[in-house]
Structure 1
Amino acid sequence: MAGKITVMGAGSWGTAFAKVLADAGTEVVLWARRRDVADGIAETRQNRDYLPGVVLPAPLTSTSDPRLALDGAGTVVLAVPSQTLRNNLTAWRALLPRGATLVSLAKGVELGTLKRMSEVVVDVAGVPDDQVAVVSGPNLAKEIAEEQPTATVIACRDHDRAVALQQACTTGYFRPYTITDVVGCELGGACKNVIALSCGMADGLGFGANTLATLMTRGLAETSRLGAALGADPMTFAGLAGLGDLVASCSSPLSRNRTFGARLGRGETMAQAQAAVGGQVAEGVKSCSSIRELAMRHGVEMPITEVVHRVCHDGFDLTEMAGQLIGRKTRPER
């Protein structure tokens, strides 16, 4: 992959992915919005705000100057929250190197436009869609930063671009696969945040493994229905970007969405739950609304997403969640 790789966004996942790239021998620059974060990384080799205790390799450099970060980049990795991607990318658009591969790490559907993240990138940057790649899968940042073995999916319509990025981020602990199904990869990543919220809520209410397994399985079913309506490959949802990401996010206490939902299930307010995830973004809280609207636009039934939206935004009584889902009309599984 020609030129350096720049990661725009020094949150936990952006920092972890930058570490993966550096460990793979790639020249990588990590851009942080806050100068103190960038300076701290340069001085201590740690991002103490988001990945304390993780030593970042020497080939990784940091800056808070977007012009310096993007100059000469052959690949630009966008590691900002989904609902801020448009505004951030608009600010950086004139600085993007011509022909650079643009990679989205964000998992969500944009409010208002109902666009997937790759569609937002195409819209704002004015590039063809085969110049945009997506990384998704069971990617809990802390575990990856600790070099625990994991796999991921790189999706791009241009297979050669996907392979180039694959080669740039393959390490002894991080194994990327490639696919061309960008739609399925992005929907799996966006919808699993909502299902993880529901699993957290169920756990907070005191429900056990049967309930969680039911939510994960039926959550995957409604994600697959939406994917089918939007032209995704159904096999994508059986892989790392679908089932793999779903299991990790719904099961792990490291998942911000699951943690947020569990706090709500235990009776905390939205503000208290937000504080519990360290002020970081639980993407599903906002994406549940845009995914719900996208499903309605395409005539797709997504009952779990509907309930999560009502809990987060309409004041729906969380204790009635199980009754709303279990009490639905019975029918064949397929």
Structure 2
Amino acid sequence: MTRDNNGTVIDFANCPRTHIAVVGGGAWGTSLAITSARAGRPTSLWIREAEIAAATAATRNNTVFLPGYALPDSIHVTADLASATRDADIVLLVVPSQHLRSIAAQLRGFLPAQATVVICSKGVEQDTGALLSVVVEEELPDHAIAVLSGPTFAAEVAAGMPSAVTIASSDAALNPARSQAARVARALGTKTFRPYVSDDVIGVEVSGAVKNVLAIASGIATGLGFGANTRAALVSRGLHEIQGLSAALGGRRETVTGLSGVGDLTLTCSSEQSRNMRFGMALATGRSAADVFEGRPVVVEGADNAVSVTNLARRHAIDMPICEAVRAIVVDRLPIPDVMNALLQRPFKDERADLGLSIPHSISRNAAKSMAGI
């Protein structure tokens, strides 16, 4: 039994038959549609490419983006955005972060007034430096907004393996049980898909955006043959970078230690199921992305966000050396050995970051001059 702040009982077991529309038919969008149907919700799935939508509807299998996982017959698959969302109570936006604004703008004309918009993409808008919740709020100002993030590989969620996510909405600070995050949690939750409610939208968003960049760094380190020590150091110091940026933007540091932060970071930095990690491995070993992903169309969010995240950090004077190193490799095309040497030869710092300690590296005080800023 759950009660809200006024003592009123909230009956999660008998919540209304919420219609959920999933906008974005990639691996994660398809997996969320399967989860929604598994939760007993009327579900529609919008896939941008008409031919893929038609094939998925006919075969009940998204062979391009999530092959091998059958879509329940109850899922309505369509390439018509208006048809997918017209009657929706909850809309899950699962499109690449740099396309989120244009899709949100298209929804403005026909999205039902009562629909809650849930951002399931991870990133920072490159042109503006805006978090994705700000982007959606600008394009859909009359709609409630929530954010969903956490340590989830699409295939494992689609297979029904136990998984947990964080769903955040700002109104959860006032009344968690009646918040938009709670509404989405009880609509999507199943025996194996467990949502946790948060009010820290900024902390959840920053964690999701930065971890993709750090996963590329982990892939590079793995591709170079480095071991468990390196990965543990990278995850720990990467978490520090997430905390610094999150705090500067108004997020809470403790959010970063939860599912959307350390949970997702650990997952994507330790498994080759992570697209960003595999992309980093490709960079380190000289393989092409097409070869690594076997010719399948894959969006590597960390590549775009290496720029948007570091631009945002620079604007707020936040030191993010690992993310800057990824940017130097992915965007500036600097040689990986040079970037790694500069990163490893930075001055020794205090772990707390408030002691003001900076000891010049004993190997070379001048080796990183050409990489100033990393």
> TM-score per shorter chain, which class?
over 0.9
From 164, 181, 184, give the equivalent of 2:183.
164
Q: Which runs of 5 or more structure 2 residues have no equivalent in the other structure?
A: 1-15, 173-178, 353-374
From 147, 150, 155, give the equivalent of 2:160.
147
Partner of 1:99: helix, strand, or coil?
coil
TM superposition shift of 1:274: 5.0
TM superposition shift of 1:273: 2.0
CA distance in 1, matches of 2:136, 2:157: 26
Give the corresponding residue for 1:34: 49
Cα-Cα RMSD: 1.3
From 339, 342, 351, give the equivalent of 1:324.
342
CA distance in 2, matches of 1:49, 1:274: 14
CA distance in 1, matches of 2:190, 2:50: 29
User: Could you state the TM-score of these two structures normalised by the residue count of structure 1?
Assistant: 0.95
- CA separation of 1:258/1:9 partners in 2, compared to 1, >3 Å: closer, same or farther? same
Partner of 1:95: helix, strand, or coil?
coil
CA distance in 2, matches of 1:290, 1:274: 24
Give the corresponding residue for 1:217: 236
Give the corresponding residue for 2:109: 94
CA distance in 1, matches of 2:338, 2:141: 45
Amino acid at match of 2:111: L
Identity of aligned residues (%): 42
- CA separation of 1:48/1:139 partners in 2, compared to 1, >3 Å: closer, same or farther? same
Indicate whether 1:255 and 2:274 are aligned. Answer: yes
Q: Deviations over 1:236-265 (max 9, x none)?
A: 010000000001111111111000000001
* Max Rg structure: 2
TM superposition shift of 1:146: 1.3
Partner of 1:215: helix, strand, or coil?
helix
TM superposition shift of 1:57: 1.6
CA distance in 2, matches of 1:39, 1:315: 39
TM superposition shift of 1:311: 0.4
Q: Which runs of 5 or more structure 1 residues have no equivalent in the other structure?
A: none
Higher relative contact order (CA 8 A, sep 6+): 1
Give the corresponding residue for 1:189: 208
Give the corresponding residue for 1:60: 75
Q: Deviations over 1:194-246 (max 9, x none)?
A: 00000000111111111111111100001100111111111101000000000
Check the 8 A contact 1:204/1:263 in 2, yes or no.
yes
Deviates more, 1:7-16 or 1:165-174: 165-174
From 241, 250, 274, give the equivalent of 2:260.
241
Amino acid at match of 1:87: S
- After TM superposition, the runs of 4+ consecutive aligned structure 1 residues lying more than 6 A away are none
CA distance in 2, matches of 1:43, 1:18: 16
Alignment map for 1:1-334 (pairs within 5 Å): 3-127=18-142, 131-159=144-172, 160-268=179-287, 272-274=288-290, 276-277=292-293, 278-334=296-352
TM superposition shift of 1:193: 0.2
Amino acid at match of 2:337: T
CA distance in 2, matches of 1:51, 1:121: 26
Check the 8 A contact 1:205/1:319 in 2, yes or no.
no
TM superposition shift of 1:82: 0.2
Deviates more, 1:53-62 or 1:146-155: 53-62
Answer 1 or 2: which has greater helix percent. 1
CA distance in 2, matches of 1:9, 1:96: 16
Check the 8 A contact 2:328/2:339 in 1, yes or no.
no
Q: Deviations over 1:115-148 (max 9, x none)?
A: 11111100111236xx111110001111111111
Amino acid at match of 1:203: T
Deviates more, 1:88-97 or 1:183-192: 88-97
Partner of 1:62: helix, strand, or coil?
strand
CA distance in 1, matches of 2:46, 2:289: 28
User: Could you state the TM-score of these two structures normalised by the residue count of structure 2?
Assistant: 0.85
Deviates more, 1:41-50 or 1:237-246: 41-50
Check the 8 A contact 1:2/1:74 in 2, yes or no.
no
Amino acid at match of 2:316: H
Check the 8 A contact 1:22/1:60 in 2, yes or no.
yes
Amino acid at match of 2:220: M
